[in-house]
Structure 1
């Protein structure tokens, strides 16, 4: 981060802690994805920091938060170089250094023809275990934190951190990308969850995404909202109401309250919101239902609101690489939960798609496209 960008950040930035993967991405862009046994050349090559937690915290830092990180690596030259840029954004970092094993890294093949990316990930080994995180380090990491984020990795250590955060009443956000060992225990402690498109149905076995969101709120009583990201189709969010009011203060206009006795079918409610979308609007837009009782047949009913958010329409010549778009979205959610404004989520994700790699295109809070959404 350039010094001018550092100077633009708020002096008293909100502290947020992350626990999870920080790794190295080896990105090769190719004209088209190779066929079996092909030999092709890359059109461009980049090595940079990666990992869900590392990417999301980088995004949050550029927007103005003061992130901390708990992770583990075997510090080789490439890894240390990839972290240099990131470390300048951190107020507190615990890298448990392993003398043996390997650091996590990912080969990413970016297909210029289809605008898709294929990731081949090698997890770090040996993994971070709770004994490597002392009590004093844990308390130091949590000191002053307004939110704790987990990407679902390093699950044994993550649950120790999450349990302490819960004891301190610090809200917890979970990245539910796919089923992982220990993820269920983290979700039971979570205040918020951001899911991949496939996760809600895979986890709940519900027949559709909206019904799966209802099921998640019923199965996870502490959850205040669940968001499912849908790529170029935007996102869907189900928010639980608390004592007649919804917990999210600024994602869209508050909308009108529906009578407490009224129930709406979640499938029908989703379709009605989709009908409000204007395809001529290029910037991300959010459409919210009234506060009501939302029913999924055969699953149950929750009180809350359903949201449909559109993605930014990126002109084809500007779309470079979707690597890390979900991490950028989560980074902006972290900012939004700490600042009560989540309108920059889709814009941050889209900005990251305009450059090769997960971090190069992440916006700074000085980006004029974000000016109307950051406070």
Structure 2
């Protein structure tokens, strides 16, 4: 941690610079008392226009928590695009390397929030400008934007690249926990893998640096089941349960040495749950901060789940994102 951390607020990591690449867009959010049926008319109870997009949301979260994000994305030179740039800059996201198309329209999403069922439906419009291509970025710019960065984040929006990654990591495992082991075995440089499960929390598998053959060998599904039984349904705030270090096996793929974690989500009362838009992006942004701050896996998962839940108590993907000095984060400041 940096020695100049404030007496209050989250600690400022020594390495604060991160880089994000992916989507930004304008979110047009409308709340309704119930989801509309086909061929009907209804009034919204609230309307909000706000920046969105996975990369934009995650980096906004990271910036509010104290990091210094740089974003690589593309917008059009229209009112919406300029507003997106301004909004990101106000939150502390460096937009110096954004690509601005002279023509076309900036992407946007229609988001309908059903206040009765507490669900939202998103309709994405990709805009009418050429998508970002490698030639949009010069090699000198890439050297500059990556200089001093601690983490680089990709939101998977660029389909061609996402397909290559998916094909490399793809697994036919019958369960999520088995899939995590399979991915770690196929990608030996990965330190950990996290899968988010919405209201059911998340699962994380961490690799042990040294393959200790003397450790107990366990079936990953049995370990997951055992940890799940230890969850306390009476606790409303996020928690994290960890296994001991062990060797996990999958059929036909061998073993890996690691630790399994189950993170629970906050149980938000219906009266406080407003909108789940961007909850996953908030989780990612908090994970980026936790990595830079060297949080332990248990604290990292608990922290990320708490930030994601906090964001669900306001309308839109960014309205509820906490700042590093927010009193709600006090328990994570030391």
Shift of residue 370, structure 1, vs aligned partner? 1.4
Shift of residue 86, structure 1, vs aligned partner? 1.6
Aligned to 1:350: 309
Aligned to 1:71: 73
Q: Does residue 371 of structure 1 match 2:330?
A: yes
Aligned to 2:93: 90
User: Residues of 2 paired with 1:296 and 1:312: CA distance?
Assistant: 31
Aligned to 1:227: 194
User: Which whole-Å deviations, capped at 9, do the CAs of 1:259-315 have from their partners, x for residues lacking one?
Assistant: 734211111100110111111111110000011001223443211011000001111
Specify which of 325, 337, 346 is matched with residue 279 of structure 2.
325
Specify which of 24, 28, 31 is matched with residue 29 of structure 1.
31
Q: CA RMSD in A?
A: 2.3
Aligned to 1:158: none
Aligned to 1:216: 183
- The change in CA–CA distance for 1:374 and 1:20 in structure 2 (over 3 A counts) is farther
The count of residues paired between Structure 1 and Structure 2 equals 320
User: Residues of 1 paired with 2:254 and 2:333: CA distance?
Assistant: 37
Specify which of 354, 360, 365 is matched with residue 319 of structure 2.
360
Specify which of 217, 229, 239 is matched with residue 206 of structure 2.
239
Shift of residue 340, structure 1, vs aligned partner? 1.2
Shift of residue 219, structure 1, vs aligned partner? 1.7
Shift of residue 85, structure 1, vs aligned partner? 2.6
**Greater relative contact order structure (CA < 8 Å, 6+ sep):** 2
Specify which of 99, 103, 117 is matched with residue 102 of structure 2.
99
Instruction: Flag structure 1 segments of 5+ consecutive residues without an equivalent.
Output: 156-179, 190-199, 246-258
User: Residues of 2 paired with 1:287 and 1:205: CA distance?
Assistant: 26
- The change in CA–CA distance for 1:8 and 1:188 in structure 2 (over 3 A counts) is farther
Q: Is the 8 A contact 1:24 1:82 kept in 2?
A: yes
Specify which of 26, 34, 48 is matched with residue 50 of structure 2.
48
Aligned to 2:3: none
Instruction: Flag structure 2 segments of 5+ consecutive residues without an equivalent.
Output: 1-5
Aligned to 2:160: 181
Point out the more displaced range, 346-355 or 97-106.
Answer: 97-106
- The change in CA–CA distance for 1:226 and 1:263 in structure 2 (over 3 A counts) is same
* 3-state SS of paired residue (1:101): coil
User: Residues of 1 paired with 2:82 and 2:258: CA distance?
Assistant: 46
Aligned to 2:249: 295
Q: TM-score, normalised by structure 1?
A: 0.80
User: Residues of 2 paired with 1:71 and 1:267: CA distance?
Assistant: 39
Q: TM-score, normalised by structure 2?
A: 0.90
Q: Is the 8 A contact 1:19 1:53 kept in 2?
A: yes
Q: Is the 8 A contact 2:275 2:315 kept in 1?
A: yes
User: Residues of 2 paired with 1:8 and 1:207: CA distance?
Assistant: 43
User: Residues of 2 paired with 1:244 and 1:299: CA distance?
Assistant: 15
